[in-house]
Amino acid sequence: MRIAVLDDYQGVALKATNWSSLGPEVSVETFSDHLFDESDLVARLRGFGIVVVMRERTALPEVVLRQLPNLRLIVTGGLANAAIDMQAARDLQITVAGTRGDAVGTVELTWGLIIGSVRHIGEEDRAIRAGAWQTTMGIELRGSTLGVLGLGRVGEPVARIGRMFGMEVIAWSQNLTAARAHAVGVDMVPFHELLRQADVLTIHLRLSDRTRGLIGESELGLMKRSAFLVNTSRGPIVQEAALLDALRSHRIAGAALDVFDEEPLSSDHPLRSTERLLLTPHLGYVTAQGYRTFFADAVDDILSFLNGTPVRVLT
């Protein structure tokens, strides 16, 4: 049995857990590069019976799955992966299994990006290395308003930390109720009021047909010129062209992004050269602890599958 581990950007997969427990008849091959072309991906995976994917880095649509006759098992980080065509996998009798995961890394990174943005840490780092001194003036979080778009397993702890900073915290999502908001200690407001009132707008929604492109030109136009937008959820929730225009025209004060429409970003992508924009390369879940859990669970899933015992099957 051959196993392919995709998008191992940092080359850590083989060090994160004990793959030898799978036995000598199983071979594991890791790939650190990302393939955008579907035909290249099919050519790479055609000889593998098991594919391990890191969250949603590589898409596995029906057109790819149907060209992989040897593929019997996909293991993905987490218990959901919108980049895998689940119906096609079921039709082709390919098992899709998941792993444990938590929100701690993304919550912590969100606050790193918020503080990095409002205190201009990236800009000041670059400036001091260039010989300058104190080139920006930040804002205090205490007394400002945090707008949380989505009050789920990431949004809730982000909101609670906002309260600890002394911020007024407001929230909205399509399914949010006043009772749920009250339980977290925040105020539920209409969507347009969230945009108008937030000094920092932080996004924590799942990507779906309802949320794709949710933040566009008109929504950014409702925000304060002094406001910051932070997205550690999924890139397509924010319309990229609209955000670029809002930053270039100083329609908002700044933004911080950990997620993008295109990942990895191409070397000439306009986001790379846009000012007042703090960028991280989808690091929310990228921690040593998170990787150890993911790859250990992936090995457990593979062992269970090979032994004919139940795995953490995605539905």
Q: Tell me the pLDDT tens digit for each residue of 171-198.
A: 999 999 999 999 999 999 999 999 999 9
Compute CA 9 distance to the chain's CA centroid, rounded to the nearest angstrom. 15
Two structure tokens written together for 48 = 């593998």
Residue 234: active-site member: yes
Nearest to 226 by CA among 117, 101, 67, 111: 117
Q: Are residue 46 and residue 131 in the same domain, yes or no? A: no
Q: Are residue 115 and residue 239 in the same domain, yes or no? A: yes
Two structure tokens written together for 115 = 């503080």
Residue 315 pLDDT greater than 80, yes or no: no
- The answer to whether position 69 is within a domain reads yes
Query: Any idea how long the chain is?
Result: 315
Q: Quick one: DSSP state of residue 265?
A: P
Residue 192: active-site member: no
Q: Are residue 6 and residue 149 in the same domain, yes or no? A: no
Q: Are residue 273 and residue 127 in the same domain, yes or no? A: yes
Of 57, 120, 234, 276, which residue is the catalytic one?
234
Q: Supply the range of the domain harboring residue 294.
A: 2-101+287-307
List helix spans (H) across the chain.
13-16, 38-45, 62-65, 86-91, 104-118, 121-129, 155-164, 178-184, 191-197, 217-222, 240-248, 288-307
Backbone angles phi, psi at 212, to 5 degrees: -60, 125
Of 263, 269, 292, 312, which residue is the catalytic one?
263
Q: Are residue 133 and residue 205 in the same domain, yes or no? A: yes
Q: Are residue 139 and residue 222 in the same domain, yes or no? A: yes
Task: Give bridge partners of residue 74 from the DSSP assignment.
Answer: 51, 96
pLDDT bucket at 150, cuts 50 / 70 / 90: very high
Of 55, 57, 276, 282, which residue is the catalytic one?
282
Q: Are residue 80 and residue 201 in the same domain, yes or no? A: no
Residue 263: active-site member: yes
Q: Are 201 and 229 in contact (CB under 8 A)?
A: yes
Q: Are residue 61 and residue 158 in the same domain, yes or no? A: no
| Per-residue model confidence as pLDDT tens digits over 109-136 | 999 999 999 999 999 999 999 999 999 9
- If one counts the domains in the chain, the total is 2
Q: What is the mean pLDDT of the chain?
A: 96
Nearest to 284 by CA among 165, 174, 155: 155
- The answer to whether position 264 is within a domain reads yes
Q: Are residue 97 and residue 109 in the same domain, yes or no? A: no
The answer, as to whether pTM is greater than 0.85, is yes
Q: Are residue 85 and residue 119 in the same domain, yes or no? A: no
Q: What is the pLDDT of residue 226?
A: 98
Q: Are residue 209 and residue 181 in the same domain, yes or no? A: yes
What is the percent of the chain with per-residue pLDDT over 90, rounded to a whole number? 96
- The answer to whether position 68 is within a domain reads yes
- The answer to whether position 248 is within a domain reads yes
Q: What is the pLDDT of residue 102?
A: 86
